[in-house]
């Protein structure tokens, strides 16, 4: 069911804060400063009554800033993280999240530069909170996985990154355009933090060959990474509201995510106020 290919010497079991989770949470929609100083919506969830809290930026999938993306944000908060999910399509509004996602798709998506600017704004917001421990990670799904890989190779200030089945990390020359001028794989030499990759072996984008190419590039540049590949799973297999959901593989995948973030983000995050 599962094959694991962590870089040698880079993997060990991580422990979550106090062994499991935290019950007191606050979740709300806020406004943060995004690319070019634009105000954008973001969904923010965090533990209440803690100091030394690590942050995680959540980059939502192409279907949009939907209910499942917000569930992911709350799930991270439950496990002791201040999690922030910027609405990458908010400039197409106001309106319902699904209408804005449709408008974004009709427009050909948003530019890599804009997403990186919004992600940088989210990182800055999290690090400035008085209860922050100074560490910030990022996790993205589908298009958000690709954008997370790109951010980890472009932005400074990330301590860990998780790419969940990000398509178009590997891109053909004819796929490059004004909005996406460079393939993320070509920036791998600049990867500045440990990377976790979660993939389904039945996925068509990225397919197994593309994942192999990404892993080869990470090895070539001596990067710290872990890849987990799941048989019987395709694209979006964490999403509980979709036919692609695969509970066995998703449960194991989330364990890998929290072990990874626990190792790189959680140190010193056990104080309460």
Residue among 142, 153, 164, 193 flagged as catalytic = 142
Q: ω before 132 within 30° of 0 (cis)?
A: no
pLDDT surpasses 60 at 4: no
User: How does DSSP classify residue 18?
Assistant: G
226-236 average pLDDT score? 98
242-255 average pLDDT score? 98
User: How many domains does one find in the chain?
Assistant: 1
Name the band, by pLDDT with cuts 50, 70 and 90, for residue 64. confident
Would residue 235 show up in a list of annotated catalytic residues for this protein?
A: yes
Residue among 269, 257, 248 nearest 228 (CA): 257
Query: What average pLDDT is seen over the chain?
Result: 90
Residue among 35, 60, 79, 235 flagged as catalytic = 235
Report the relative pairing of strands 160-164 and 195-200 from DSSP bridges. parallel
Answer yes or no: is 272 within a domain.
no
For 82, how many CA atoms within 13 A lie in the half-sphere containing its CB?
Answer: 24
User: How does DSSP classify residue 158?
Assistant: -
Answer yes or no: is 273 within a domain.
no
Q: Which domain holds residue 227?
A: 2-266
Q: Are 4 and 228 in contact (CB under 8 A)?
A: yes
What's the confidence (pLDDT) of residue 8? 30
pLDDT in tens, 9-20: 232 222 334 445
Report the relative pairing of strands 225-230 and 160-164 from DSSP bridges. unpaired
Answer yes or no: is 50 within a domain.
yes
Q: Indicate which CATH number applies to the domain containing 234.
A: 3.40.50.1820
Answer yes or no: is 205 within a domain.
yes
Would residue 98 show up in a list of annotated catalytic residues for this protein?
A: no
pLDDT in tens, 133-172: 999 999 999 999 999 999 999 999 899 999 999 999 999 9
Six-digit token pair at 106? Answer: 């009709």
Name the band, by pLDDT with cuts 50, 70 and 90, for residue 22. low
Answer yes or no: is 169 within a domain.
yes
Answer yes or no: is 271 within a domain.
no
170-197 average pLDDT score? 97
For the chain, report the end-to-end CA distance as a whole number of angstroms.
43
Q: Are 226 and 6 in contact (CB under 8 A)?
A: yes
- In this prediction the pTM is 0.90
Residue among 102, 108, 121 nearest 178 (CA): 108
pLDDT surpasses 70 at 45: yes
105-115 average pLDDT score? 94
What's the confidence (pLDDT) of residue 139? 98
Answer yes or no: is 101 within a domain.
yes
Would residue 99 show up in a list of annotated catalytic residues for this protein?
A: no
């Amino acid at each position: 069911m599962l094959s694991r290919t962590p870089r040698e010497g880079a993997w060990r079991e991580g422990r979550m804060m106090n062994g499991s989770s935290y019950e007191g949470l606050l979740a709300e929609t806020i406004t943060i400063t995004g690319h070019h100083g634009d105000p954008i919506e973001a969904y923010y969830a965090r533990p209440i009554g803690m100091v030394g809290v690590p942050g995680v930026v959540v980059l939502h999938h192409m279907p949009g800033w939907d209910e499942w993306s917000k569930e992911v944000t709350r799930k991270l908060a439950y496990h002791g993280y201040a999690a922030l999910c910027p609405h990458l399509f908010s400039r197409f509004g106001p309106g319902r999240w699904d209408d804005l996602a449709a408008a974004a798709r009709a427009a050909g998506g948003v530019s890599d530069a804009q997403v990186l600017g919004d992600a940088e704004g989210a990182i800055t917001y999290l690090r400035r909170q008085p209860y922050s421990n100074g560490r910030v990670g990022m996790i993205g799904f589908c298009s958000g996985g690709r954008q997370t890989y790109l951010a980890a190779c472009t932005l400074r200030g990330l301590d860990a990154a998780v790419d969940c089945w990000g398509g178009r990390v590997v891109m053909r020359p004819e796929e490059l355009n004004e909005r996406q001028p460079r393939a993320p794989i070509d920036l791998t030499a600049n990867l500045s933090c440990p990377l976790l990759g979660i993939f389904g072996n039945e996925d068509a984008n990225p397919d197994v060959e593309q994942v192999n190419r990404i892993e080869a590039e990470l090895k070539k540049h001596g990067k710290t990474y872990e890849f987990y590949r799941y048989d019987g799973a395709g694209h979006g297999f964490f999403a509980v509201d979709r036919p692609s959901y695969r509970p066995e593989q998703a449960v194991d995948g989330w364990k890998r995510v929290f072990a990874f973030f626990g190792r790189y983000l959680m140190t010193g995050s056990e104080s309460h106020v």
